[in-house]
Amino acid sequence: MPGSWTYRPWSHGSEIELGHLAATQAAALACHVHPDVQVAAVTEGWRMYRTTFGEFRALAGEIVVIPAGVPHGSYGGAAAIVTHLYVPSNHAAVRGISKPHRIRHSRAALPNEILDAIGSYDRWPREPTLPAECSALTELVSCDDLDIRTIAARQGRSTDGFIRLFKRDVGMTPASYRLALRLASARSQLKRGNTVADVAYAGPFSDQSHLGRLFRRAYGATPAAYRSAFAD
């Protein structure tokens, strides 16, 4: 896959994950979520990040930070070079960041420079990461034990009405959000060394090919390639 994303630990034993894209063609990622804070630094070209809070376009030398749990997708032009850092929320550089934000003119390229730029930035939004209504909706849908019709009925809404409300407030449908959570779980399991077959079965995904298609759409890499990057 020319221009696909690659992932690896930032350094041995580090909790920070490093993603990198050197695009040879326009490259998009479907809407997904992360348990960590995503920090995106563009060194060439541009990339657009679509979030619950709007769109954030990063040009060369700019950084976009997306808090943990915020649904987002992205796309960019050919020849873009982008670095992603996935940083635990309790890390000193990102602690307290509550909303997606763009930092202009940082010129940071290396991971330590990117973290320094974030840690020294003092104009972070301080509102809750997601509005209370939005957080309540995602908490309801996060439980796979109930189907959407049952959840909607308990909220005194029709199924279609609940789906429209969820999509308006969260940015994706309940089914898409549940899928994003399953993919995030699959990613964590692959990082721990679980086999692709076991992860697909536990997903539950219909088979390895099903997991592979959805994983590539969300993360721009195959499950096998992602797993092998963390094998050591």
Q: Burial code of 88-119, b = ≥16 C-beta within 10 A, e = fewer?
A: eeebebbeebebbbebeebebeebeebbebbe
For the whole model, what pTM was predicted? 0.91
Q: What is the DSSP string of 192-228?
A: TT--HHHHHHHTT-SSHHHHHHHHHHHHSS-HHHHHH
How confident is the model at residue 27, as a pLDDT?
Answer: 86
Comparing C-alpha atoms, which of 95, 114, 76 is closest to residue 37? 95
Query: Using CA atoms, how far apart are residues 209 and 103, in angstroms rounded to an integer?
Result: 38
Co-location of 47 and 79 in the same domain? yes
Query: Number of structural domains, the chain?
Result: 2
The alpha helices in the chain, defined as continuous H runs, are 111-119, 132-142, 148-154, 159-170, 174-191, 196-202, 208-219, 223-229
Spatial CB neighbours of 164, under 8 Å, sequence gap ≥ 6? none
The mean pLDDT values, 10 residues at a time, for the chain of 232 residues are 82 89 92 96 96 93 94 94 96 88 91 92 67 77 86 93 92 93 96 96 92 97 96 77
Co-location of 68 and 148 in the same domain? no
CATH number, residue 58 = 2.60.120.10
**Neighbouring C-beta atoms of residue 154, cutoff 10 Å:** 11
Co-location of 90 and 187 in the same domain? no
How confident is the model at residue 232, as a pLDDT?
Answer: 67
Co-location of 112 and 18 in the same domain? yes
Q: For 127-183, what is each residue's pLDDT tens digit?
A: 555 566 677 888 888 877 789 999 999 989 999 999 999 998 888 999 999 999 999
Comparing C-alpha atoms, which of 49, 203, 35, 52 is closest to residue 137? 52
Residues shown for the chain? 232
**Which of 93, 119, 145 marks a domain boundary?**
119
**Which of 65, 88, 119 marks a domain boundary?**
119
What is the sign of the dihedral through the CA atoms of 220, 184, 100 and 177? positive
In a domain, 146, yes or no: yes
